[in-house]
Amino acid sequence: MKMRFCDNCGSYMKLTAEGYWCPRCGKIVPSESEAREMRTEQSESSGIYVIDEPSNDYARISQVCPKCGNEEVYHWVSSISGEHAGIRRERTVEHFKCAKCSYSWNKSS
């Protein structure tokens, strides 16, 4: 069975008793009619380009990576606050990312 896509909005169409129905725009295409088939082909220009390392904004500290044993990691801190049963709680989360293998882990306090 081929996948069918809507001519109007490009959404996946579901097979019903009346034909193919688009849940996004409501268009109905009778079963004997062919809906547009979408095919994706990779082209040479469809790549992901990394412009800059996002970890450069974080502090580098001396900590041992539990995965590869490297002794230099990126470090940043975030805080999480919430309320449960009427009690407000706040906690601090330390984030670590290995500078060598990019393994990430957290410590919560």
Domain with 74 in it: what CATH number? 2.20.25.10
Overall pTM surpassing 0.85 (yes/no) = no
pLDDT for position 66 = 94
Q: Are residues 61 and 95 in the same domain?
A: yes
Q: Which domain holds residue 24?
A: 1-38
The pLDDT tens digits for 63-89 are: 999 999 999 999 989 888 888 888 888
Q: How many CA atoms lie within 13 A of 8 on its CB side?
A: 10
Mean pLDDT on 39-68: 70
Q: Tokens for 39, please give them.
A: 């095919």
| Residue 46 belongs to a domain | no
The label of the residue with tokens 């069975």 reads 1
| Residue 43 belongs to a domain | no
Mean pLDDT on 28-40: 58
Whether the Cβ atoms of residue 9 and residue 23 lie closer than 8 Å to each other = no
Q: Are residues 66 and 29 in the same domain?
A: no
Q: Are residues 34 and 60 in the same domain?
A: no
| Residue 20 belongs to a domain | yes
CA 82 centroid distance within chain: 24
Q: Is residue 33 predicted with pLDDT exceeding 80?
A: no
Q: Are residues 65 and 30 in the same domain?
A: no
Q: Are residues 61 and 29 in the same domain?
A: no
Q: Are residues 25 and 65 in the same domain?
A: no
| Residue 102 belongs to a domain | yes
Distance CA(40)–CA(101), nearest Å, equals 32
- Please, what is the average pLDDT of the chain? 79
Q: Are residues 30 and 67 in the same domain?
A: no
Q: What percent of the chain has pLDDT over 70?
A: 75
For the chain, the domain total comes to 2
Q: Return the higher-pLDDT residue of 51 and 105.
A: 105
pLDDT for position 104 = 92
Whether the Cβ atoms of residue 73 and residue 63 lie closer than 8 Å to each other = yes
